[in-house]
């Protein structure tokens, strides 16, 4: 019998975070570590048996080995059909799209997203369910429990699998289909956007620079932007995916993609500058002379999306994660749309999208997507912006300026304190939590605290409750200070501090983010004292 049941011993740390299980590569390389986690998924999600499973990853170091193991274990666990991206590659939004399109019972996404890669870097796995969304908190909780009690795993041994040869292969009773990693994804994008208008825009001299950061979006961007839309050669840079992302940090923001800001501010700036992250679900948008913050990008897309073919019928509703700035709320109100505030992590949008209650959602962490799939979708956001530029004939700068003039402007920044000792980070958060009851009603600088609490969420679709989702100090509509612990890091603890300030008056729309937020930063410093308590001089990353 080529399917073997092998004994194993449980690990105690296979608890999923904000987006799947993320650990150092060396942790995943421990004997049976990957096998245990996968078996826990197969044991808990029994609907996979006899069904279709999509498997692919962002191409980082350890991707191929892990894909071989995942496919062999799928064959050992009675999966009828496995669809794998050629070479083991699938971007996160492409994998989600394929789960939906092929009515798969689920998918395994091998990625640690924007975390650095290589032998000393990070690796990760996300389990997505039928419909394409990330497993819910309840499901990942059950998988974690199963992983702590595991005593054996099932794997198809022997047999040969060629990950690079497109077409069908057989492992025992399981059919393995190796498919082009871009085809399905590109077809879906084509159905949403006006490719002819975008092609014309390029013909009339429109220019884009898309930075794939040597991560998974290279082949997707090359196919769609250059081959299908006719963007000039050279419009996609760092297009070849590398196992270590070229030693870079494929987390497109003002620090790790500083060169894109420099380009935007230079005389050679193209009309649109964009980038995506390791697994292709994030996006960064800049225009000539300016950076569009993710919260602004969400709000501006919300204001223009119904001009694009896939959204002509109008938008159902909008949603953002709690720390994301409230610019999109203003658009929702102006258009009479429902607007939801969810905990951090894309999985919390899934029920709202499935129930048809929202069309567009986004996070401050450079994530934007729509109801077309169940993950955030980096290239989708870039295509949406391109299409908006093509139909309006306006520049990014014009769109932003007009938006702020009409809806007001949310100044926004996130400060990350990476790799703090866990006890220090917990101490800082606990300290603020204790102080919250004394803050409500207090005067801080120019503002009065209208609300000071810990965010909890009741899902309006299934009634599930999620608590402990970040501390917030709210100053009415005028400003917010938010503090939470990251759930994606693999070393120590990361504190995220989010500052938001809203202004409407015409003479207050042109400030720099730093000057607009300086008074709030001072209040945060006084109330939370992160530098003092951590011994740091300032945040490790400001985005
Ligand atoms: C971060 C972001 C969150 C995002 C998550 C996954 O989580 O803040 O908005 O959904 O990463 O993004 P945390 O818990 O570290 O703040 V990715 O591109 O990893 O899929
Ligand atoms: Co990502």
The tens digit of pLDDT for each residue in 290-346 reads 999 999 999 999 999 999 999 999 999 999 999 999 999 999 999 999 999 999 999
Closest CA to 190 of 379, 418, 352: 379
When pLDDT is averaged across residues 393-420 and rounded to a whole number, the result is 97
Residue 1 predicted with pLDDT over 80: no
Q: Candidates 251, 344, 381, 492: which one to mutate for ligand 1, based on the most atoms within 8 Å of Cβ?
A: 344
Please give the Cα distance from 308 to 187 (Å, whole number).
Answer: 16
Q: Is the CB of 253 under 6 A from ligand 1?
A: no
Q: Is the CB of 271 under 6 A from ligand 1?
A: no
- Cα(213) to ligand 2 centroid in Å equals 12
Among the listed residues 16, 91, 96, 113, the single catalytic one is 113
Which residue's C-alpha comes closest to atom 11 of ligand 1?
488
Look at residue 15 in the predicted model and tell me its pLDDT: 96
Which pTM was predicted? 0.96
Residue 249 predicted with pLDDT over 70: yes
Q: Is the CB of 365 under 6 A from ligand 1?
A: yes
Specify the ligand 1 atom closest to the Cα of 124: 19
Strands 208-211 and 174-179: unpaired
Residue 126's φ and ψ, nearest 5 degrees, are: -120, 135
- Ligand in closest contact with the CA of 19: 1
CA atoms within 13 A on the CB side of 357: 15
Please report the beta strands in 284-376, taking only residues with DSSP state E, as ranges in sequence order.
Answer: 284-287, 290-292, 317-321, 338-342, 360-363, 367-370
Which residue's C-alpha comes closest to atom 16 of ligand 1?
486
- Cα(425) to ligand 2 centroid in Å equals 24
- Cα(149) to ligand 2 centroid in Å equals 30
Q: Is the CB of 282 under 6 A from ligand 1?
A: yes
- Cα(116) to ligand 1 centroid in Å equals 14
Look at residue 159 in the predicted model and tell me its pLDDT: 83
Closest CA to 366 of 347, 344, 350, 339: 344
- Cα(366) to ligand 1 centroid in Å equals 9
Q: Is the CB of 56 under 6 A from ligand 1?
A: no
Please give the Cα distance from 439 to 448 (Å, whole number).
Answer: 9
pLDDT tens figures, 109-147? 999 999 889 999 999 999 999 999 999 999 999 999 999
3-state secondary structure labels for all residues of 407-440: HCEEEEEEEEEEEECHHHHHHHHHHHHHHHHHHC
Which residue's C-alpha comes closest to atom 20 of ligand 1?
113
pLDDT band at 60 (very low <50, low <70, confident <90, very high): very high
Please give the Cα distance from 316 to 259 (Å, whole number).
Answer: 37
Specify the ligand 1 atom closest to the Cα of 282: 18
Q: Is the CB of 18 under 6 A from ligand 1?
A: yes
* Helix, strand or coil, per DSSP, at residue 38: helix
Please give the Cα distance from 398 to 503 (Å, whole number).
Answer: 18
Please indicate whether residue 96 is annotated as part of the active site.
no
- Cα(450) to ligand 2 centroid in Å equals 34
- Cα(438) to ligand 2 centroid in Å equals 38
Angle at 271 between CA 293 and CA 301, to 5 degrees: 45
pLDDT tens figures, 64-103? 999 999 999 999 999 999 999 999 999 999 999 999 999 9
Burial (CB count <10 Å: 0-12, 13-18, 19+), residue 140: buried
Q: Is the CB of 496 under 6 A from ligand 1?
A: yes
pLDDT band at 432 (very low <50, low <70, confident <90, very high): very high
Q: Is the CB of 19 under 6 A from ligand 1?
A: yes
Q: Provide the mean pLDDT of the chain.
A: 96
Burial (CB count <10 Å: 0-12, 13-18, 19+), residue 185: buried
Residue 377's φ and ψ, nearest 5 degrees, are: -140, 105
Number of H helices, E strands in the chain: 17, 28
Please give the Cα distance from 143 to 141 (Å, whole number).
Answer: 5
pLDDT tens figures, 6-19? 999 999 999 999 99
Specify the ligand 1 atom closest to the Cα of 18: 14
Q: Is the CB of 281 under 6 A from ligand 1?
A: yes
When pLDDT is averaged across residues 363-388 and rounded to a whole number, the result is 98
Q: Which residues contact 394 (CB under 8 A, 6 or more apart)?
A: 402
Contact predicate 318/359, CB 8 Å: yes
């Amino acid at each position: 019998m080529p399917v073997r049941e092998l004994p194993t011993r449980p690990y105690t740390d296979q608890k999923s975070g904000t987006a799947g299980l993320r650990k150092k590569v060396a942790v995943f390389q421990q004997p049976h570590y990957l096998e245990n986690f996968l078996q826990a998924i197969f044991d808990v999600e029994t609907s996979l048996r006899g069904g279709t499973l999509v498997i692919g990853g962002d191409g980082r170091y350890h991707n191929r080995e892990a894909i071989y193991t995942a496919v062999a274990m799928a064959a050992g666990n009675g999966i009828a059909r496995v669809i794998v991206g050629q070479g083991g590659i699938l971007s996160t939004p492409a994998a989600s799209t394929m789960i939906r399109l092929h009515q798969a019972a689920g998918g395994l996404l091998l990625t640690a997203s924007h975390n650095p890669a290589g032998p000393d870097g990070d690796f990760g796995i996300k389990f997505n369910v039928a419909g394409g969304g990330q497993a819910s908190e309840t499901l990942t909780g059950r998988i974690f429990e199963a992983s702590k009690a595991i005593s054996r795993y099932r794997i198809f041994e022997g047999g040969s699998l060629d990950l690079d040869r497109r077409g069908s292969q057989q492992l025992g009773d399981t059919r393995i289909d190796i498919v082009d990693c871009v085809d399905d994804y590109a077809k879906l994008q084509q159905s949403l956007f006006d490719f002819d208008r975008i092609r014309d825009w390029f013909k009339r001299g429109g220019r884009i620079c898309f930075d794939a950061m040597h991560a998974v979006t290279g082949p997707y961007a090359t196919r769609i932007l250059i081959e299908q839309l006719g963007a000039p050669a050279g419009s996609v840079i760092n297009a070849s995916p590398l196992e270590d992302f070229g030693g870079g940090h494929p987390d497109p923001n003002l620090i790790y993609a500083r060169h894109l800001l420099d380009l935007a501010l230079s005389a050679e700036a193209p009309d649109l500058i964009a980038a995506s992250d390791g697994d292709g679900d994030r996006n960064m948008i800049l225009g000539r002379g300016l950076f569009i913050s993710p919260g602004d990008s969400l709000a501006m897309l919300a204001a223009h999306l119904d001009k694009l073919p896939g959204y002509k019928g109008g938008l159902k509703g909008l949603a953002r994660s709690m720390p994301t700035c409230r610019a999109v709320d203003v658009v929702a109100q102006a258009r009479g749309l429902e607007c939801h505030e969810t905990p951090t992590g894309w999985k919390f949008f899934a029920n709202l999208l499935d129930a048809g209650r929202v069309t567009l959602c986004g996070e401050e962490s450079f994530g934007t997507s729509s109801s077309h799939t169940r993950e955030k979708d980096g290239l989708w956001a870039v295509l949406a912006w391109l299409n908006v530029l093509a139909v309006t004939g306006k520049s990014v700068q014009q769109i932003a300026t007009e938006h702020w003039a009409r809806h007001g402007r949310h100044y926004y920044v996130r400060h990350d304190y990476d790799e703090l000792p866990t006890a220090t980070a917990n101490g800082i958060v606990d300290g603020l939590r204790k102080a919250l009851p004394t803050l409500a009603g207090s005067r801080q600088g120019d503002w009065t605290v209208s609300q000071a609490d810990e965010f909890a969420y009741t899902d309006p679709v299934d009634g599930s409750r999620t608590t402990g989702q970040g501390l917030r100090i709210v100053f009415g509509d005028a400003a917010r200070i938010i503090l939470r612990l990251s759930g994606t890091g693999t070393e120590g603890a990361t504190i995220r501090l989010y500052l938001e300030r809203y202004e409407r008056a015409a003479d207050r729309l042109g400030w720099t983010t730093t000057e607009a937020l300086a008074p709030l930063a001072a209040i945060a410093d006084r109330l939370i004292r992160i530098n003092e308590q951590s011994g740091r001089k300032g945040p490790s990353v400001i985005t």
